[in-house]
Amino acid sequence: MSEHPTGRRPDRAGSLYAMSRRALADAALRAPKEPPRRLTPDRRWVRWLGQSLLLAMAVGFVGGSIAIPLILYAPPPRPVVASLLAVSQAAPLALAWRWPLVAWRISASGMLAGALLLREAYFWPWPVTSWLAFVVICFFVALGYERSVAAGVGALTAGGLLVPAVAVAGMPDWFGLILAGIVVLALSFGDAVGGRYAAELSLAEQEALRRQDLARQARLEERARIARELHDVVAHHMSVIAMQAEAAPYKIPDLPEAAKDTFALVRDAAREALTETRRVVGLLRAEDDDAERRPQPGLERLEDLVAGARQAGLTVDAVIVGVPRPVAAGVDLSAYRIVQESLSNAARHAPGSHVRVEVAYRSDALAVTVTDDGPRTAPAEPGGGHGLVGMRERVAMLGGALSAGPVEPAGWRVAATLPYGNE
């Protein structure tokens, strides 16, 4: 047997005693009124239905708890006493939906009062309707609270309610054991249902957090990819600036010294900016990013995308609207990526569909629209990805607009507007 760090063996009996004492104190006094488990359904009509059902049961049980002692008990209690006991024993059932522990404390107090006031008046000191209400309340206590509280409720019910009923009210021992078993079953069932529901809620919350983390990771990865691609574009232009500034004094004869100094400043600033950009963006590059170091694609490779989509089983029509014009490298690359991702999504989620790709050169912006008419066969990948996240990041970077959603009667449309900006 292992030794305690102090050299003494752990006092298991003392630990068990402390746990039992805490459980009893929680059940009787310390546990919060509101159950810590969130077990109320989100739908309002379900909550109203459950509360209305408990209220109706409480009213019926109170009526039965008044009538049964007046009819069966000998001698019968006074109507006022029977009414007060019935209200204290069965009426708390109406509170069990929201405040189960408060309901149990009130009902248990009424049951104990009934055992003391109606002793030896009948086979057992409580009307059956009061006991049914009490058992339902025990179920809700175990449903909404931790297992230690439910254990404390069971112990107090057995020791503080059933034992006095046997010792004082004359209830048979064997019947007290049956009632104790009923309480244990109600508490066990409530604990099992509450534990399962709490576990489902926890799993749902974890899944929601996981989806948020995946979406956040996808955004970060897409932003890093955009940064790497923009680096290639910016690096090209900065290199041109540096070379032109370097060559200007040799291409322009009799250039004033002030102009030469200006060109030197431009050259040095361009080189420094290019060095810093490469250093920062280099941190974003993985070791296997060689493919992304190649020249970035643009809409001049639109036909390659269409051909690849057709090989994937799609029927694709590509339409150019307006007169093609040179656009900024970032706009050209983003338009290409949006068409690429849209065709990839159509191949996964709408296999066999007819897809229309439209690239419209408007006066102030480039408009890209990809529309499919729905799957012809069951999608091979029914789950959702994060392709739209990357599209939105690209469009937001350029100050454009993106809309994506289903179309009638079937299909999906992605529409992006990319301002030309300063080309």
CB neighbours of 108 closer than 8 A, spacing ≥ 6?
A: 134, 156, 157, 160, 161
Give 36's DSSP letter: S
CA quadruple 127, 133, 134, 139: dihedral sign: positive
d(CA 168, CA 408): 76
Greater pLDDT, 235 or 293: 235
Q: What is the DSSP string of 294-325?
A: SPPP-GGGHHHHHHHHHHTT-EEEEEEES---
User: Residue 19: its pLDDT value, please?
Assistant: 67
Mean pLDDT across 403-416: 90
Res. 3: pLDDT tops 50: no
Q: What is the pLDDT of residues 309-336, one digit of tens each?
A: 888 888 999 999 988 888 888 788 889 9
Q: Is the pLDDT of residue 256 over 50?
A: yes
Residue 77 banded pLDDT, cuts 50, 70, 90: confident
Q: Which residues contact 242 (CB under 8 A, 6 or more apart)?
A: 267, 270, 271, 274
Going by pLDDT thresholds of 50, 70 and 90, the confidence category of residue 228 is low
Q: What is the mean pLDDT of residues 341-351?
A: 87
The better pLDDT of the pair 358, 270 is held by 358
Q: List the single range of 8-22, 108-122, 195-209, 382-396 with lowest mean pLDDT.
A: 8-22
pLDDT for 48: 81
pLDDT score of 1: 42
Whole-number Å distance between alpha carbons of 23 and 406: 55
Q: What's the whole-number mean pLDDT along residues 4-13?
A: 51
Q: What's the pLDDT score for residue 236? A: 67
pLDDT at 8 over 50: no
pLDDT per position as a tens digit, 172-198: 889 889 999 999 999 999 888 887 877
Residues linked to residue 368 through DSSP beta bridges, in sequence order? 359, 416
21-30, 125-134, 294-303, 414-423: range with lowest mean pLDDT = 21-30
Q: What percent of the chain has pLDDT over 90?
A: 18
What are the tens digits of pLDDT across the range 79-118?
898 899 999 999 999 888 888 888 988 999 999 988 888 8
pTM value is 0.52
Mean pLDDT of 75-81: 86
Q: What integer is the mean pLDDT of 406-412?
A: 88
Q: What's the pLDDT at 253? A: 78
User: In this predicted model, which residue has the larger pLDDT, 56 or 43?
Assistant: 56
Dihedral sign, CA of 127, 132, 133, 134? positive
By CB atoms closer than 10 A (0-12, 13-18, 19+), residue 152 is buried
Q: Is the pLDDT of residue 416 over 90?
A: yes
End-to-end CA distance of the chain: 79
Report whether the peptide linkage leading into residue 75 is cis, meaning its omega lies within 30 degrees of zero.
Answer: yes
pLDDT of 278 reads 66
Q: How confident is the model at residue 31 (pLDDT cuts 50, 70, 90)?
A: low
pLDDT number for residue 251: 79
Q: Rounded to 5 degrees, what angle do the CA atoms 161, 166, 171 make?
A: 115
Residue with the two structure tokens 């009124």: 33
